[in-house]
Amino acid sequence: MTNLQASNEYNAMEDDEFRAMVHDWYVENYPDELRFPPNRMHWDQVGDWYLTLAKKGWLTPAWPAEYGGMGLDANKLLIFMDVGETYGVGRTPDMGITMVGPLLIQHGSQEQKEHYLPKILAGENIWCQGYSEPGSGSDLASLQTSAVRDGDHYIVNGHKTWTTLAMDANMIFMLVRTNKDGKKQEGITFLLVPLDTPGITVRPIVNLGMHDEFAEVFFDDVKVPVASVVGGENNGWTIAKALLGHERIFIGSPKFAILAMSRLKSMAKSVGLFKDPLFVERYTRLQLDIEDLFAAYKRFVEVLKRGGNIGPEVSMLKVWNTETQQRVTELMMEAASEHGGIQDGIDTVDGVVRAAGEFIASRPTTIYGGSNEIQRNILAKAVLRLPS
Amino acid sequence: MEDISLQSRIDVLSEQQVLIQDSAVAFIGEDEELKKARASRFVQPGFDQNTWQEMAELGWLGFLIPEQFGGIGLGFDDLHTVLIQLGKGLVPAPFVATAVIAATVLVNGDNEAVKKDRLPALVAGEWKPALAWQEARGSMSVKAEQVSVVDGKLSGKKIFVPDAGGADDFIVSAASAEGTELYLVNKDATGLSIDYEQRVDGGFYGQLSFDQVAVGDKVASVALAEQILAAALDTGRVAASAELLGVMTRALEITVDYTTQRVQFDKPIGSFQALQHKMVDLFILSEISRSVVLQTIGLFDGEVSAEGRAVAASQVKARCSDAALQITKSAIQLHGGIGYTDEANIGLYFKKAMYLASWLGNAAAHRARYAELTL
C-alpha cells in the first residue's frame, strides 16, 4: 500500500474504528516499561520506538502523504494524539518531525527536500535547534553567534543554549549573524549544520527535574559550507518566524495537557477523589479547559489543512494550553498531599503518578517557545492592534 | 466598530452565511447607539415590539421552522451568525426564548393541527408563545411536578418565564396521571395570574400561577413531552451561548477602542502592558468561546444522541457564561469610573451577560451536569 492509499484509508475510517486501531497497535508495539516516562527520553531509550514508528509509517502523522507522512486530517490527527497521550506513549526526539520537515516541505528547495526528508523518516538525522543564546532569550534577534564568509564556507563562532536533546542529535538547525550593520533582524541567516563538524562542543545542562534534557552548544571556528543556508543569506529571520509558527501550533496542541490530565485522573481514581464534590468541580473545570482548547486547536489545524497560513493569533493556543497544563499539575500537587514533596510517585492502577515531577516538568512550558509574556505582547500588538 | 475576532483571519464562511451575516450586521447597525435597547428597559414588555416585527419581515423568526409551516428551515450553521449579531447589538427582543426555544418545542410536538395553525403566525410575528417549564430555582429538570393537569384544568406555579409580558400564549408543561404533557394556555385565561420580576438587563421574567386554568390545545403528549423539552432547552442553551459570544465580543471591541482613545500620563492607556495583557487574556477567552460555539453548532446540525447534545450544550453554555461575565466585568474595570455609570454603554453589555449567563443554567450548573454525564 502506498502512503497515499494508507492516508486515504485512515481518513475514511469511522472515528471509533480509527481510535481502536491506533490503540491496539500501541498495545501490541509500544514497550510497557516506557509508558508515561517521567522525563524526555534519550535516544538509547526511545530510538527503537522511533524506528518502529518509522517502519509503520506513523512517525510523521501531520506530514502530507507524498512526503511519506500519514497525511491525517485535523480530526484524525487529534484522535491519533489523544490515543497516544492517554496510553502514555513517550515523545521521540521530534525536532525533525515537527519543525525541520514541515519547514522544508513549505520553504525548502527540491534538493533540500530530497536530501533531508528521507533521513528524518529513516531516523538517520536527528535534529536539534540552535536559536537561544546566553544573551539572547526573549530578544532572540539580538543573537551574536557569527558566521563570517571565507570562500565557499562560513566560519561560525559563538554559543547556543537551551538546545533540547543536543546530545542525541547529529544535526542542528541554527540562526547565525551574517551582518552586524542595520536592523538586527536583517543580518540573520538560517544554517543546517552536522554536529560532528570539528569545533562543536555539546555540554549537557541538568534541569530542575534532575534530568539532562537540554544542553549548551559551543562553536569554535566551525567551517560550514555556504550550501547549508536555507532561504538565502540574511533571510534567516523570515525562515525562523515561519518555523516558530510550526512550533507554536505544536506547543499549542492539547497533547501535554491531555497527558497531565490522564495522570491526574489515574491518581484521583486510586485515591478516591471523585467522591469529593469540590474536587469534581475543579477537575471538571480543567477537563473543560482542555476540551475547549481541543475545539480551538481543531479550528487552527483546519487552516493548515486548507493550505492557509497561521499568523500571530496562534499564540493564544500556547498561552491557554501551557497555563491549563500548569493548573492541572497544581491540582495534582494538592491532591497528592505529602507526595507532593517527594521525588517518587504514587502507585495507581494505571502506573506510577509523579505529582511532584509533573509539577516541576510543567514549569518551563510557559517559558520556552517564547515566554507567555512575549506571546501576550505579540497578541496585543499584532492581533488587537493596541497602541505602543 | 472594527471586528477583532479571528473570524476573518482563520474561518471560512459559505456564501449564504456571508449574506445572512451581512444583513444582521446592517440590522444592528441601525441602532448602533443602542437607543432602542435603552428605551425598552424597565417598561413592559421589556423589549421592542417594532424590532420583533422587523425581524419577522427579514424571515428570521422562521429560521428553525420548516418551510411547510411558513419558515425557512435552516440550521444553526446559518442562524448562529444572526445570534452573534443580536448579542453584539443588544437587540431588545426575546429571539432565543421565542423563535428558538418555543418554536422548537412546537415544531417537534405531535399535534399537527397546532403546527399548521400557529407556526405561520409565529413566523409572521403575529403570535408570540413563551415556554413555561421551570419549577425550581437552579433546576434543569424537564419533568413537570409542581404544575398538574386534572380534567383539563391546570394548577401550580411556573417561574422564570422570559418576557412573559409580551407573550400571547404560554406553552406549559404539566403533570397528568400518565406523566408530563405540554399544553397551550392563553395569557388571558381565567385563573392565570402573572407576577413580574425585573431583570437587570431591563427585561422581565414572569411567574405564572395557575388556579384551575382551562388548558388550550395539547402541544405534546406524554410519549414525547419530556424529550421535546430537553431537546428544545439544549438548543436554546446553544443559541444563548452564541448570543453571549456576541455580547462578549462587542464588549471587548468597545474596550479596546476606549483604551486606545483614552489618554493618561500623556499616552493612550491601551499602550500600558498591564492593560494590554489583561485585554489579551479576555481576547483569548472570547476566541476559545467562539471555537466551542462553532464546534457545537456543527454537532447540533448533524446527527447526535440526546445525551451527546446535552453534554455539548453544557460544555458551550458553561464556557460562554463564564467568559461573558469575565469579559464584561473586566471591561468595567478597564473603563474606570465611567464604566460604573448607567450612561456608558459598556454597562448594558455587562447586564445582558448577567442575564444570559444565569438563564437556562449558569456555568457552575452546566459544569455539574457535564460531570454527571461524562465522569
- Domain-terminating residue out of B95, B123, B151: B123
Q: Is residue B97 located within the same domain as residue B38? A: yes
The CATH number of A127-235, from 2.40.110.10, 1.10.260.40, 1.10.150.530, 3.60.20.10, is 2.40.110.10
- Domain-terminating residue out of B104, B123, B142: B123
* Higher-pLDDT residue of A347, B266: B266
Q: Cα B59 to the chain's mean position, in Å? A: 18
Residue with cell 448533524: B302
Q: State the catalytic residue, choosing from A247, A291, A313, A334.
A: A247
Strands A127-130 and B204-214: unpaired
**Structure confidence by residue, pLDDT tens digits, B311-338:** 999 999 999 999 999 999 999 999 999 9
Judged against a pLDDT cut of 80, whether residue A83 lies above it is answered with yes
Compute how many other C-beta atoms are within 10 angstroms of the C-beta atom of residue B198: 12
Compute how many other C-beta atoms are within 10 angstroms of the C-beta atom of residue A147: 29
pTM, entire model: 0.91
> Least CA distance to A386: which residue of chain B?
B270
Residue from B327, B324, B325, B302 nearest B312 by CA = B302
Q: Is residue B114 located within the same domain as residue B73? A: yes
Q: Which residues of chain A neighbour B295 with C-beta distances below 8 Å?
A: 295, 298-299
Q: Where in chain A is the domain with CATH 2.40.110.10?
A: 127-235
Domain that holds residue B188: 129-222
* Higher-pLDDT residue of B354, B2: B354
A3-92 fold: Butyryl-Coa Dehydrogenase, subunit A; domain 1 (1.10.540)
Judged against a pLDDT cut of 80, whether residue A307 lies above it is answered with no
Positive/negative CA dihedral, B359, B363, B366, B372: negative
Q: Is residue B81 located within the same domain as residue B33? A: yes
Residue A75 banded pLDDT, cuts 50, 70, 90? confident
Q: Is residue B244 located within the same domain as residue B318? A: yes
For domain A252-383, is the CATH number 3.40.50.720?
no
Q: Is residue B344 located within the same domain as residue B243? A: yes
What is the C-alpha separation between A239 and A190, in angstroms, rounded?
Answer: 7
Q: Is residue B174 located within the same domain as residue B312? A: no
Q: Is residue B154 located within the same domain as residue B54? A: no
Residue with cell 411547510: B68
Chain B CB within 8 Å of residue A24 CB: no
Q: Where in chain A is the domain with CATH 1.10.540?
A: 3-92
Chain B CB within 8 Å of residue A374 CB: no
State yes or no: is A247 an active-site residue: yes
- Domain-terminating residue out of B191, B222, B253: B222
The pLDDT of residue A245: 66
Of the candidates B10, B288, B294, the beta carbon closest to that of A320 is on B288
Q: Is residue B261 located within the same domain as residue B314? A: yes
**Structure confidence by residue, pLDDT tens digits, A236-256:** 999 888 777 666 677 788 888
The pLDDT of residue A248: 65
Q: Is residue B297 part of a domain?
A: yes
* First and final C-alpha spacing in chain A: 56
* Higher-pLDDT residue of B270, A300: B270
Hey, are the CB atoms on B279 and A293 less than 8 Å from each other?
Answer: no
Q: Is residue B192 located within the same domain as residue B234? A: no
Q: Is residue B21 part of a domain?
A: yes
Which residues in A181-215 are b (16+ Cβ under 10 Å) and which e? eeebeebbbbbbbebeeeebebeeeebebebbbbb
**Structure confidence by residue, pLDDT tens digits, A16-58:** 999 999 999 999 999 999 998 888 999 999 999 999 999 999 9
Hey, are the CB atoms on A376 and B280 less than 8 Å from each other?
Answer: yes
What is the C-alpha separation between A308 and A190, in angstroms, rounded?
Answer: 24
Q: Quote the percentage of chain A above a pLDDT of 90.
A: 72
Helix, strand or coil, per DSSP, at residue A94: coil
**Structure confidence by residue, pLDDT tens digits, A309-344:** 788 999 999 999 999 999 999 999 999 999 899 988
User: What domain count does chain B have?
Assistant: 3
Hey, are the CB atoms on A383 and B283 less than 8 Å from each other?
Answer: yes
Q: Is residue B234 located within the same domain as residue B366? A: yes
Q: Which residues of chain A neighbour B315 with C-beta distances below 8 Å?
A: 288, 291-292
| Mean pLDDT within B110-139 | 97
Q: Is residue B231 located within the same domain as residue B154? A: no
Looking up residue B278, the CATH number of its domain turns out to be 1.20.140.10
The alpha-carbon gap from A14 to the nearest alpha carbon of chain B, in Å, equals: 14
ipTM of the complex: 0.95
